[in-house]
């Protein structure tokens, strides 16, 4: 592999997960986003919930990670 790119050179990225009543998928996809080898200060995950039970969002919050909103 070539030289490592400095973290400051990476663009900021926001991953948006739109979901409805599927907590298992929310948990798995948020975990996938957070597991990426991307500078943590440049990654944000937004979970968008539409017309579903409030409990759908809860699995995403168990990550207790400031990158997840």
pTM: 0.74
Query: Tens digit of pLDDT per residue, the chain (69 long)?
Result: 667 778 788 999 999 988 877 777 888 888 999 999 899 999 999 988 776 666 666 665 677 788 888
Q: Residue 52 has what pLDDT? A: 66
Angle at 13 between CA 56 and CA 4, to 5 degrees: 130
Residues ≥6 apart with Cβ < 8 Å to 25:
19
Q: Residue 7 has what pLDDT? A: 78
Residue 66 neighbours by CB distance under 10 Å: 9
């Amino acid at each position: 592999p070539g030289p490592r790119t400095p973290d400051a050179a990476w663009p900021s990225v926001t991953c948006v997960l739109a979901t409805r009543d599927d907590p298992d998928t929310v948990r798995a996809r948020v975990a996938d986003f957070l597991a990426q080898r991307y500078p943590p200060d440049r990654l944000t995950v937004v979970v968008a919930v539409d017309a579903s039970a409030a409990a759908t969002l809860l699995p995403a919050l168990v990550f207790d990670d400031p990158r997840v909103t």
